[in-house]
């Protein structure tokens, strides 16, 4: 395991309730301590927007309106961005740092933290925590790029649960929605 100190940006955009969308971005240090938190105001599309955008409305709101504005607003630039949304991966080219999507897996644990297995669909199974199932990782870049961020994922995974900050963002967004 490497001893790399990194900042990780977690980005989440959700539909909360009746056609209302909101997003949040949390930058943490490698131990999961918050450095910066940003969120959007709730966005509710109009009836006209629903008609004009049709089936593309969710993608437009999540990617272009919410995630893009959060990424552009962050001041403490992360070394790696993590999301749980494959849609947000579309913004990979906008970022100064790599972007991955992580989903919880249900496979048998690999023998060690950082162990990687490539899947046929291009995704990666990686043991991101010392115990539990490996995670499904989708990376928009090439294999050489993933090789560069693998030590960041492994180092942070030895210090914290890499999926837990996404849950924190979701809870914070729920509190924001309650107050609005």
The domain locations on the chain are 8-179
Q: Which fold has domain 8-179?
A: archaeoglobus fulgidus dsm 4304 fold (3.30.2170)
Predicted structure pTM score: 0.90
CA pseudo-torsion sign 169, 37, 91, 96 = negative
Summarize pLDDT for 139-154 with one digit per residue, the tens. Answer: 977 777 888 899 999 9
pLDDT-derived band of residue 2, with 50, 70 and 90 as boundaries? very low
Q: Given a cut of 80, is residue 7 above it in pLDDT?
A: yes
SS (HEC) of the chain: CCCCCCCEEEEEEEECCCCCEEEEEEEECCCCCEEEEEECCCECCCHHHHHHHHHHHHHHHHHHHHHHHHHHHCCCCCCEEEECCCHHHHHHHHCCCCEEEEECCCCCCCCCCCCEEECCCCCEEECCCCCCCCEEEEECCCHHHHHHHHHHHHHHHHHCCCCHHHHHHHHHHHHHHHHC
Summarize pLDDT for 61-104 with one digit per residue, the tens. Answer: 999 999 999 999 999 999 999 998 888 988 887 777 889 999 99
pLDDT-derived band of residue 1, with 50, 70 and 90 as boundaries? very low
């Amino acid at each position: 395991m490497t001893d790399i100190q990194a900042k990780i940006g977690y980005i989440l955009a959700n539909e909360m309730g009746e056609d209302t969308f909101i997003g949040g971005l949390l930058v943490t240090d490698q131990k999961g301590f918050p450095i910066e938190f940003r969120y959007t105001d709730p966005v509710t599309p109009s009836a006209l927007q629903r008609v004009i955008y049709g089936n593309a409305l969710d993608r437009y709101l999540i990617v272009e309106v919410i995630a893009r504005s959060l990424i552009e607003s962050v001041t403490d630039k992360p070394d790696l961005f993590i999301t749980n949304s494959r849609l947000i991966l579309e913004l990979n080219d906008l970022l100064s740092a790599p972007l991955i999507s992580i989903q919880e897996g249900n496979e048998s644990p690999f023998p060690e933290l950082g162990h990687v297995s490539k899947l046929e669909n291009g995704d990666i199974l990686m043991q991101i925590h010392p115990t539990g199932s490996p995670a499904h990782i989708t990376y928009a870049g090439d294999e050489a790029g993933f090789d560069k961020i693998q030590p960041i994922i492994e180092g942070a995974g030895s210090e914290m649960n890499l999926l837990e900050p996404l849950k924190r963002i979701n809870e914070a967004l729920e509190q924001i929605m309650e107050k609005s």
